[in-house]
Structure 1
């Protein structure tokens, strides 16, 4: 596609996304744009907006938005309350972002009330709110109705208009080929999901399995990357994009566009297997392509979507409402139905496998492929001081640095870490050497970042907190090495009990002691095949327990050395090349049309 046509198409897609947000949710659009700025700039702009808006009559709505952007949620809430008499749409939008639907009333625009209901998981109620106000034919109503229909019992995408039966030559006579259907990827997204995908694809390639990955419709243009290409090649792995013009008006339309693009890749690439990765939307695409071509498909369940969504709510009461919601019930049913229909299922942990079995997936169709590590990490011997010299002049060489490289979201529990560090600094019984050298390093970004900075100021430890923001994946490893102890203080939520993160096993491979919350999935991430722990456990949501665990490691250098050696031993069992044999066995089983019991770690 000529460059000018390519850019015109991408700009149309981006304009569509921006226009949709301006009509539906301008406050959220402002927040999303601000999150692409460095943290310092985001906080500065937010404060400036709040200060300027507060000077004007009826300015509380915009002031609330500025305070929220700067991470001062209690201040934002105060402005929202003050703006109720103004009937401010912006204030109402911020109330939704704050998870406070109780601050909305009958004067709130129907579109905002619908979003509040949707955010609480009342999907049918959101659609009815628009229909009852005569807005059932609006673009917003059509989009919500389509998303609701995708979650109806047994719903499948319409059969593609084209897609003849497919017959690839036997993989016994040539390289096995797999088409992966994924949500996002490198180089545009630096998440655990994207990094695992790339590690898997490069490791599969190294053992002779060829892959092409197709991302969701509109990505990455719809997340603010209009200069992207139709295909990225990274480490010889091809990432194809679904960038149609025009963009489908509804969720189902966009999935149909992804199916069409997948069928074009099938005709060109001739894969032996389709491999869909969380969530149900990728599974729907894989199922439709399989139905059209006869290619077997696998579903990889990396997380339980509804549990992550519940954890995103801000209060215990709100999470309880979310857990009982229509959205949770429908999501569980949809994902379980698709997992049962897939030719095989891959998941990351025994804990998650048990959940799938409870939902009706046959145990002998589940393959465990836990998070793995690059074998090169096992031999790197860089000390924290050597890593710091490469990274950050403001991070003292002699510091005792605790923290993580992570998405900064609430359920990760970094507020608990800050309170633990504040407690250690205030404890006169802690050795002076530890108190004087202790710092916290949180590398990454996310919705909780401004609030964590504000909490550090409130606790009086802002001078001990280093937050360099989002960093390239190539530097993330060095930041892990710059830590004396890696902390994974996830909160006691369903998502934390079932989903194993990537960061503990990578830290173990790099020889860093790890402290994790004592939750099933996290225990599993720091255990060897015989159940021996190579990390330290702390009670979740308990800053005193976390402080004690951190102190026990920091005060005992010999224990840190022992944990480093034990961690590398555990990580050596989980190298990506070793784990790829499990994928290959699953692929060949579905090609043959048989099943093998693969839930063991052998």
Structure 2
């Protein structure tokens, strides 16, 4: 960094940005309160209000991105939660990070978007802060203005530590309690983004990875409550020093409409895969296409079946792979289909509209989640397995702790087939097994729909309401 500071203007600015990011990660570092926020900060919710009444609860959510500009597991979980809270009578406003969505290619973005009645506010200052800390302080300023207008009872920050820093600063200025929802482990996602084992090893051993993990644990301990996606994640947070008694688990859920939808795939396939042969046995997923999702393993498993004379002849002729979605791994996956000689047996339509994703899932004979064996995939649960279970789709997932938890009932029944990760031969064997039993009654699918029904978003939203009410009540008593 010292070399950058003594170089030209551009590199000096880069050094300034890097130093700011490093300062944010320093133990005990807090965002400095703004002068503009000092007066606003004293205006929290009225102590005369009744926080025990759900209709009186107001929550300010601090998030990274959102619909309609970003469609991801993160933004969809946020939207489903906020929609369910709205139906439960909880009022919410969600504030996104400084500069979003302009910084992701939406130059004419509005200061506010309303999607299905959910309000998303933007932090779009006339001049963007030059450093990471300056941008977070701009977001604090925007949040304090919302506090002055909205008078929330609770602040709810969602992954990662930067949103937590904003919530911490607003809480300090206003006395409003704050929650940190840990949906992922930022440093592990960053490590997993490196393509080679050697570069992942260097990233895992880096100062950045250590500092990010420590900062997120520090902020989780300072939050008034912590929410996470699974017991697997809760156990990892405990290993990092977070008090387990303060952690509430809220798994990925499903919307009611998904459970009430007919599960016959004939009409769905006619809608999204009209050119597929009528006898095709289609396996695949709807997902972000990044390396750690492991879809190259699925392609290699399919090629093994198609080209192996010992595979069932009918399946060799009928197997088709469908991978809907987009991401950094998409070009390599398309190239791999041709390298393996299965380009004519693979459909990759790119990103599909949010409303059409369930139809694509329903069009598949089997949904496959072939995630690689990395720390991020061991701990973090994806959204798609529970949606596939809700639709009654046969499901195959990598045998990893987070995925096992997401498909296992309280009685210990696995609602999906579990396969060793990164093993095309084992995956091919399970696909053959599913195909050979395709005409029979599948107890796993029935159990899967029951498991999904226990994870309806209205039910899961009640867990948040319980935490909100407790924190609001404790604050009112002080």
TM-score range, shorter chain: over 0.9
Question: Within 5 Å, which residues of 2 pair with 1:226-241?
Answer: 226-241=107-122
CA contact (8 A) 1:312 1:410 kept: yes
Aligned 8 A contact 2:60 2:93 in 1 = yes
- Within a 5 Å distance, the mapping from 1:219-258 to structure 2 comes to 219-258=100-139
Which residue does 1:267 correspond to in 2?
148
Q: What SS is found at the alignment partner of 2:328?
A: coil
For 2:187 and 2:171, locate their aligned partners in 1 and report how far apart those are by CA, in whole Å.
26
Selected match of 1:425 from 306, 318, 328: 306
In 1, distance between residues paired with 2:23 and 2:133?
8
**Counterpart among 170, 173, 179 of residue 289 in structure 1:** 170
The counterpart of 2:288, out of the listed 407, 417, 420, is 407
- Residue segments in structure 1 that go unaligned for 5+ positions in a row: 1-126, 595-602
Q: CA deviation at 1:487?
A: 0.4
Return closer, same or farther for 1:235/1:394 CA change in 2, 3 Å cut-off. same
Distance 2:319 2:26 in 1: 52
Tell me whether 1:152 sits opposite 2:29 in the alignment.
no
Aligned to 1:476: 357
Where does residue 167 of structure 1 map in the other structure? 45
Instruction: Please provide the CA RMSD for this pair.
Output: 1.5
Q: Which residue does the alignment assign to 2:236?
A: 355
The structural deviation recorded for 1:137 is: 6.8
Structure-to-structure mapping, 1:22-61, within 5 angstroms: none
CA-to-aligned-CA distance 1:359-386 (integer Å, 9 cap, x gap): 1211111000000001221121142221
4+ runs deviating over 6 angstroms: none
Q: Relative contact order (C-alpha < 8 Å, sep 6+): which is higher?
A: 2
Query: Aligned partners of 1:362, 1:520: CA distance in 2, in Å?
Result: 21
Native 8 Å contact 1:554 1:560 kept in 2: no
Q: Could you tell me which residue of structure 1 aligns to residue 260 of structure 2?
A: 379
Measured in 1, the distance between the counterparts of 2:277 and 2:140 equals 52
Residue 146 of structure 1 aligns to a residue in which SS? Answer: helix
Structure 1 partner of 2:380: 499
Alpha-carbon displacement from aligned partner over 1:222-246 (angstroms, at most 9, x marks no partner): 1001122111111111000111111
- Taking the aligned partners of 1:449 and 1:560, their CA distance within structure 2 comes to 35
Unaligned runs of 5+ in 2: none
Structure 1 residues 134-143 or 417-426, which shifts more?
134-143
Residues 269-278 or 395-404, more deviating:
395-404
Per mean C-alpha deviation after superposition, the further-off stretch among 376-385 and 343-352 is: 376-385
Segment drifting more, 131-140 vs 522-531 = 131-140
Tell me if structure 1 keeps the 8 A contact 2:263–2:392.
no
What pairs with 1:272-351 in structure 2 (closer than 5 Å)?
A: 272-351=153-232
